[in-house]
Amino acid sequence: MTGSRPAPAGRPVVRERWDARRRILLAVLSGNMLLDAVEVSVVLIALPTIADRLGLSPLAAQWLMSGFALGFAVLLPLGPVLAGRVGRRPVYLGAMLLFGLASVVGGLVDGLAVLVVIRLLKGACAALTAPMGLAIISDVFPDGPQRRRALAVYSLFGAGGFTSGLLLGGVLLEAGWRWVFVFPAPVALVLFLGGMRVLPGTHSGARPGLPRPALLREGSLLRSALGAAILNGTYQSLLLVMVFQSMGGFGWAPWFTALALLPACLPLAVTIPFAGRLIARYGGGRLITLGALFPLLGYGLYLARPEGSPYALGMLPALLLVEAGFCCSFVALNMRATASLAPADRGAAVSLYQMCVQLGAAVLLPLVALLLTHGDGPRPALTLITAAGALGLLVPLAVHRVSARSDPGPDPRAPDGPAPHPSRTPPQGDLPHG
């Protein structure tokens, strides 16, 4: 199967159909991508309920969020090494099986320490499957229209995962907080059985090593990683504050809170297919700067709002401004990160970049939750988020002229936007193959 063939003059171009095996393979990879992304937001919306049931403070409960990010960050650089030594198929299937087992255990225990370990394990599993799915697509689907279509489907599932998780969390909490941990198990089992049937058994002779931290000395990679880490950390931290405010302070039901937070994720899921065109038209540097400015305005607006402001004048505009920042810079930051690196270094650079992004959430979430727990209301926590957002804006402003000279255009081989992974930051297409 070679994709669309040029047709003789006067005849329409015929697009070849995928066989059943490739359809199932793409469904397994995309479904797992969706499940990984859902895991982030479904627990976010459940944090106040879990804290109430287990007698936890916001500081203690947030480890269920930051633990996932930390597990993802720690294992991400090891993924290519494991895949190179063992093979992608056993690593991918093993991660899926462990993810499902951890979900079952998470629904049966009550202790915070065990729940945090479960979240660490699930984050580590997502660090293996999310980028490896892209590598498998690159191997199985020929370069050209077929691969672009496959990546577009993969992107769509990943982009919709965060939104789906919010809505699903609101529904599951009506039945009990344990379902938030248990629900992935049957889904993971179905995906595991499908993967057993269709995942290719390729094993590359190459044995990639761990990424070299010295790569972070490259200016565009370091700046992009710092900017994306701050964007991801402040975004998740703002949602953490809003969730505890809404359900604890305002008395909103979980499903109502989930609906209220949709402006923080739905626009990106709709606009990500057009990100490449946006970058080609306006330039990555300009979009990255706007992507830091809009969230800062949102954080400042929410911090300065009068107490008792209605949703339409407080939370809603803040969420829309933060999401506008993601729509501008979500893909541009990823493209900028590796634009000036040699092709041989890009796979390792992507791992370092994604590790930094996850560490942004793992570091900022506990600090914000500490202020939320021991501060005088939410304003100290919001002040920290706003200060971090200001730092995020200083990065592109300070290096605007330097970064503008290396502005990348969209990769003609890829779809308009790369596929997102958990915490809304997409892995790029040129990952190392195991």
Q: SS3 string of 111-139?
A: CHHHHHHHHHHHHHHHHHHHHHHHHHHHH
39 falls within a domain: yes
Q: What is the pTM (predicted TM-score) of this model?
A: 0.85
CB 46 within 8 A of CB 98: no
Band (27; pLDDT cuts 50, 70, 90): very high
Band (339; pLDDT cuts 50, 70, 90): confident
pLDDT at residue 1 in the model: 41
* 175 & 243 share domain: no
Q: Got the DSSP string for 256-289?
A: HHHHHHGGGTHHHHHHGGGHHHHHHHH-HHHHHH
pLDDT tens digits, 155-193: 778 778 888 999 999 999 989 999 999 999 999 999 999
* 279 & 241 share domain: yes
List the CATH number of the domain containing 124.
1.20.1250.20
How high is the mean pLDDT of the chain?
A: 84
* 222 & 191 share domain: no
Last residue of some domain: 201, 233, 255? 201
Helices (DSSP H) in 141-265: which residue ranges? 145-175, 178-182, 184-198, 219-244, 254-261
207 falls within a domain: no
* 185 & 218 share domain: no
User: How far is the C-alpha of 267 from the C-alpha of 325, rounded, in Å?
Assistant: 11
Last residue of some domain: 150, 167, 201? 201
pLDDT tens digits, 382-423: 999 999 999 999 988 876 655 445 444 444 444 444 444 455
2 falls within a domain: no
Q: Nearest-CA neighbor of 271 among 380, 163, 180, 373?
A: 163
pLDDT at residue 314 in the model: 92
**What is the domain range of residue 335?**
214-421
* 171 & 147 share domain: yes
* 226 & 287 share domain: yes
User: How far is the C-alpha of 48 from the C-alpha of 254, rounded, in Å?
Assistant: 9
What average pLDDT does this structure show over 331-358? 83
More confident residue, 343 or 184: 184
More confident residue, 393 or 280: 393
CB 103 within 8 A of CB 67: no
340 falls within a domain: yes
pLDDT at residue 427 in the model: 45
User: How far is the C-alpha of 214 from the C-alpha of 234, rounded, in Å?
Assistant: 26
User: How far is the C-alpha of 364 from the C-alpha of 239, rounded, in Å?
Assistant: 12
* 220 & 125 share domain: no
Instruction: Give yes or no for residue 41 having a pLDDT over 70.
Output: yes
Long-range CB pairs of 2-10 (<8 Å, 24+ gap) are 2/142, 2/144, 2/146, 3/142, 3/144, 3/145, 3/146, 4/144, 4/145
Band (295; pLDDT cuts 50, 70, 90): very high
* 194 & 272 share domain: no
What average pLDDT does this structure show over 316-333? 91
What average pLDDT does this structure show over 257-281? 84
* 333 & 191 share domain: no
User: How far is the C-alpha of 62 from the C-alpha of 237, rounded, in Å?
Assistant: 10
1 falls within a domain: no
pLDDT at residue 414 in the model: 41
230 falls within a domain: yes
User: How far is the C-alpha of 404 from the C-alpha of 406, rounded, in Å?
Assistant: 5
User: How far is the C-alpha of 369 from the C-alpha of 44, rounded, in Å?
Assistant: 13
User: How far is the C-alpha of 233 from the C-alpha of 341, rounded, in Å?
Assistant: 26
pLDDT at residue 204 in the model: 53
pLDDT at residue 413 in the model: 41
User: How far is the C-alpha of 419 from the C-alpha of 131, rounded, in Å?
Assistant: 9
* 186 & 220 share domain: no
As given in the structure block, the two tokens for residue 7 are 């047709």
Q: Going by C-beta distance under 8 Å and a sequence separation of 6 or more, which residues neighbour residue 281?
A: none
User: How far is the C-alpha of 429 from the C-alpha of 203, rounded, in Å?
Assistant: 19
* 194 & 238 share domain: no
User: How far is the C-alpha of 173 from the C-alpha of 253, rounded, in Å?
Assistant: 9
Instruction: Give yes or no for residue 199 having a pLDDT over 60.
Output: yes
Indicate the number of domains in the chain.
2
Last residue of some domain: 201, 230, 253? 201
61 falls within a domain: yes
CA distances from 425 to 207, 225, 317, 361, 376 (A): 26, 11, 23, 12, 32
Band (211; pLDDT cuts 50, 70, 90): confident
431 falls within a domain: no
Report the percentage of the chain scoring pLDDT > 90.
50
pLDDT tens digits, 104-161: 999 999 899 999 999 999 999 999 988 788 788 888 888 778 887 888 788 778 778 8
Q: Is 14 helix (H, G, I), strand (E, B) or coil?
A: strand
pLDDT at residue 202 in the model: 61
Band (266; pLDDT cuts 50, 70, 90): confident
Instruction: Give yes or no for residue 430 having a pLDDT over 90.
Output: no
User: How far is the C-alpha of 163 from the C-alpha of 272, rounded, in Å?
Assistant: 14
Q: Going by C-beta distance under 8 Å and a sequence separation of 6 or more, which residues neighbour residue 415?
A: 148, 151, 152, 155, 273, 276
* 220 & 183 share domain: no
